[in-house]
Amino acid sequence: MLPNIGTARMNQQDRINSVSNDWEADPWDASDEVADAQLSGFKLRANKPLEWIPIRTSGQSIFGIDVSKLTSADVKFYTTHDGEEMLLMQLTWHGWPDPPEWRLASRPHGSKKSSWSSWGYFSELPRAWTMPEASKS
């Protein structure tokens, strides 16, 4: 199940003035077109059976990025699925006025020079995703 983000389109002004977003665009003041694309991309990935791996057990680097750099950016988990490298961030500061707790980013697998695409911030992890046992508490 997806977070309660509904099916109705939320325009930029509604998103900016909402204090109870289950999903938020990145950046929060993104245009409607950018936000719609991010939400669509998030929904697509939220339905995939992703198995997340904690970065703390991964070694020196993930996807060619030093683990310490990822940690400083709030990255907690990573995975590869359907030709994409994915990072899952758990924000230290979250909840209004900050974004929701989680953020998802991805890029094509093996494409170290490609930029990361953000799929927004969200308050609950999708049910299709499998988290490591220790992170479920």
For 20, residues 6+ apart whose C-beta sits below 8 A from its C-beta are: 96
pLDDT of residue 20: 61
pLDDT of residue 1: 43
**Structure tokens given for 96:** 């209004």
pLDDT of residue 17: 60
Q: pLDDT band at residue 10, thresholds of 50, 70 and 90?
A: low
pTM of the predicted protein model? 0.86
Residue 17 or 1, more confident: 17
The rounded mean pLDDT for the chain is 86
pLDDT of residue 92: 87
Kindly state the percentage of the chain with pLDDT values over 70: 80
